[in-house]
Structure 1
Amino acid sequence: MDIEISKVGERGQIVIPQEFREEMNIRKGEKFLVVKIDNKLIFQQMKKLKSETLEQLKEDLIDIKIAEDRLKEIERGKCVIQTKEEFLKEMEEWVKE
């Protein structure tokens, strides 16, 4: 995972670091899907989204939400210790909802 810091310009534009643009083949005018989850933003290249299924994106967002909920529990000191089997069973039930 690579991490860089960027800032928002006067018109609300965020600059994607050049190294990331080159590595991910991002060109001027390219469209992105922007997803807001709580106080986080996720950017996904539309051209790559077309090669993925929307169902997979939905599953990924669900996984992110579960991870965020767990992190909040840990931060509040409400961490629950589970076995692998208990965790997987809970995830299966959550996805059914």
Structure 2
Amino acid sequence: MEKDKYIGICKVGEKGQIVIPKEARDMFNIKPGDSIIVLCDKQKGIAIVKSDVIESMSDEILGGDNGK
């Protein structure tokens, strides 16, 4: 598989927690303590996005520094 793509499997624990596979964490530079956003659509499924991606998108849309 290409370096910019990854497919992995996560198990859901008793408390509803999942572990993001190391390869995916490395690909997106996800570190302990980082915030992620869970996007859900009953028809399309679940997506996990690192919050700084959404912040940079909002900065671009709003044309500012997102209140910082």
**TM-score of the superposition, structure 2-length normalised?**
0.68
> 1:5-44 to 2 correspondence within 5 Å?
5-38=9-42, 40-44=45-49
Unpaired stretches in structure 1, ≥5 consecutive residues: 57-97
- Determine which structure has greater relative contact order: mean sequence separation of CA pairs < 8 Å that are 6+ residues apart, divided by chain length: 2
**Which amino acid counterpart does residue 52 of structure 1 have in structure 2?**
M
Shift of 1:55: 8.8
> 1:50-69 to 2 correspondence within 5 Å?
50-53=55-58
For 2:57, what is the secondary structure of its paired residue?
Answer: coil
Shift of 1:44: 0.9
| Bigger Rg over Cα | 1
The answer to whether residue 48 in structure 2 is matched with residue 48 in structure 1 is no
Unpaired stretches in structure 2, ≥5 consecutive residues: 62-68
Q: Runs of at least 4 residues of structure 1 off by over 6 A?
A: none
What is the Cα-based RMSD across aligned positions, in Å? 2.1
Identity across aligned pairs (percent)? 36
Shift of 1:20: 1.0
**Which amino acid counterpart does residue 26 of structure 1 have in structure 2?**
I
Q: Which has the higher strand share?
A: 2
Tell me how far apart the structure 1 counterparts of residues 51 and 33 of structure 2 sit (CA, whole Å). 11
